[in-house]
Structure 1
Amino acid sequence: MNYLIAVLETKQEADSASYALEKEGIPKEKTTILGEGYQSADEFGLINPNQQAKKGAKKLVYWLIPFGFAAGYAFNVLTGIQIFPGDNSLIDHITGGVLGAASGAFGAFVVGGGVGLTTGSGDALTYRNRLNEGKYIVVVKGTDSLVRQATRVLRQFEPEYIQGYEEPVNA
């Protein structure tokens, strides 16, 4: 399945574009308008970058915390640093491991969350920002020939942005 996404400035332009698409023979059920008074980004299914960031951080947490604990424990064993005064070095080693695990958790949050927030959502963040600016998005979903026909129609409205996408095939 292919998608065509066009960003238009006003509700009137979006309505006119939808009407022009219908007039050209593109079924109304193949066209969706996003924006105030229409579907929201969440209702349409645009990826929320915050959710992607949380998923990225969660994936990293599962292996960075144990690795951080092991690294912190080993570092304390190798260096012999005394965290607490006294003869019990096992407490020092475990404390080093806990500090390493905390560093691993922080790393998962920063790297997994930060990278997920900036790259995990693809173009969805751009479209969400445009919707937040009060613009409208016209989406046409269909075959390659339908999307090409819709592209010709939507170009007449001089959209701020127009982009075609091909839905990935799940293997």
Structure 2
Amino acid sequence: MSTCVIVLKGKLPARELVLKLKEAQTPILNCDLIEPLKNEKESKNLNLEPSEEIFINEANFNSIKLLNPTLARKDRQKTLAIWLVPFGFIAGLSFSQMTELKTFSDMGFPNQFEKLLGGLVGMISGWLGSFFSAGGINQDIDDDLRALRKKSEQGFWLLILELPIEIELPWKTLKEADSLEIITIDKE
């Protein structure tokens, strides 16, 4: 997915840019308009007309996964846990069965639960693995996020465009817009 963040002075230029992209039949997967963290009175009074079919999702800066590393980390942790928890249970069960260790029996647990408790320990290990492995973030994206947060705090609107990977960003249309800055972001 090709993603770019366009820094704009107001809501109206974002609306006009999306209309131009729509007229040019640019295939847009997702279009999010992020209100400034320091919101101006002008931006609250200007509403998009619901009769027009503009596909802008208006959102808060901290509610977008691309701009909020905490949300992205939680999402990655849930995805990893779906795979690692069951595999951890199977690995713990298999390990207990193969080695025939009496770890839990020596601690006073019934001998029949030895393999099941080994599976539970493996499951907990899988969950911990998903938690810690989801914590990494790309430093380049982190620098871009700081710059985007600073722009948002200064009162600028952010328009996030996601296009299919095979589609080149419409640079001519983007440069014609009244934008201050265009930042491309690699998600992977």
- With normalisation by structure 2, the TM-score equals 0.52
- Identify unmatched segments of 5+ residues in structure 1: 7-16, 20-25, 155-161, 167-171
**2:85·2:126 contact (CA, 8 Å) conserved in 1?**
yes
Q: CA deviation at 1:165?
A: 4.0
Contact 2:65 2:71 (8 Å CA) reproduced: no
Q: 1:72 to 1:148 in 2, by over 3 A?
A: same
C-alpha RMSD of the superposition: 4.3
Select the residue among 62, 79, 92 that pairs with 1:72.
92
Identity %: 23
Name the one with the larger helix percent.
Answer: 1
| 1:106 paired residue among 121, 124, 128 | 128
Structure of larger gyration radius: 1
In 2, distance between residues paired with 1:106 and 1:45? 22
CA contact (8 A) 1:131 1:137 kept: yes
Q: How is 1:83-122 mapped onto 2 (pairs within 5 angstroms)?
A: 83-85=104-106, 89-112=111-134, 114-115=135-136, 118-119=137-138, 122=141
Counting matched residue pairs gives 138
Q: State the AA in 2 paired with 1:59.
A: T
Q: After superposition, what is the alpha-carbon deviation per residue over 1:68-105, rounded to whole angstroms, capped at 9, x for unaligned?
A: 01111111122222122379543111111100000001
Q: Answer yes or no: is the 8 Å Cα contact 1:141–1:147 preserved in 2.
A: no
Q: Which residue of 2 aligns with 1:37?
A: 39
TM-score by length of 1: 0.57
Q: Deviations over 1:119-166 (max 9, x none)?
A: 4xx56733454258x434454689532322347x74xxxxxxx33449
After superposition, the Cα gap between the structure-2 partners of 1:81 and 1:145, relative to the gap in structure 1 and judged at 3 Å, is: same
User: 1:3·1:139 contact (CA, 8 Å) conserved in 2?
Assistant: no
